[in-house]
């Protein structure tokens, strides 16, 4: 299952993904192939996480507004109305390999801003940092 928008400006959805498995004929290892943008052990896709971190850290939206924009679930509990704990978790434990050592900051929001800049560096072309981070999240 993949949650969130599949592209920048897209609608947040609850979607399913097709996972293909291949067995190596030599060593019998099983290789799993998923679509671009699927991150291991996470329910939200790469674009959704990059968008959420950019809206929170770069554009300055409060966590509750980011959740409303990115999450497909409209009904939330009392604690979720005040914020979104996933933002800090994604910032501190980056789902992209190798970024934790590159980005070291004091607060989770500063770490998220550094991660957004790092993802934006993987994109080609020019534009707003939020758009570049979403494009870079697919190739990082």
User: For position 133, what pLDDT does the model report?
Assistant: 95
**Best CA proximity match to 114, nearest among 100, 135, 95:** 100
| Confidence tier at 103 by pLDDT (50, 70, 90) | low
- The residues spanned by each domain of the chain are 2-137
57 alpha carbon, distance to own chain's centre: 13
For residue 92, pLDDT over 80 is answered with: yes
Note the pTM of the prediction, 2 decimals: 0.87
User: For position 48, what pLDDT does the model report?
Assistant: 95
Contact yes or no for 70/11 (Cβ under 8 A): no
Q: What is the percentage of the chain residues whose pLDDT exceeds 90?
A: 54
Give the model confidence (pLDDT) of 67-87 as tens digits.
Answer: 989 999 887 777 777 788 899
Rounded to the nearest integer, the mean pLDDT of the chain is 88
Residues linked to residue 32 through DSSP beta bridges, in sequence order = 21
């Amino acid at each position: 299952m993949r949650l969130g928008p599949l592209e920048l400006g897209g609608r947040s959805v609850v979607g399913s993904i097709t996972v293909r498995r291949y067995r190596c004929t030599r060593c019998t290892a099983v290789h799993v192939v998923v679509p671009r943008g699927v991150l291991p052990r996470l329910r939200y896709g790469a674009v959704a996480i990059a968008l959420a971190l950019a809206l929170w850290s770069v554009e300055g939206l409060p966590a509750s507004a980011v959740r409303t924009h990115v999450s497909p679930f409209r009904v939330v509990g009392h604690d979720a109305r005040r914020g979104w704990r996933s933002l800090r978790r994604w910032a501190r434990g980056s789902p992209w390999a190798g970024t934790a050592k590159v980005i070291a900051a004091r607060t989770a929001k500063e770490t998220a801003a550094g991660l957004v800049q790092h993802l934006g560096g993987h994109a080609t072309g020019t534009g707003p940092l939020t758009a570049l981070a979403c494009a870079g999240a697919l190739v990082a």
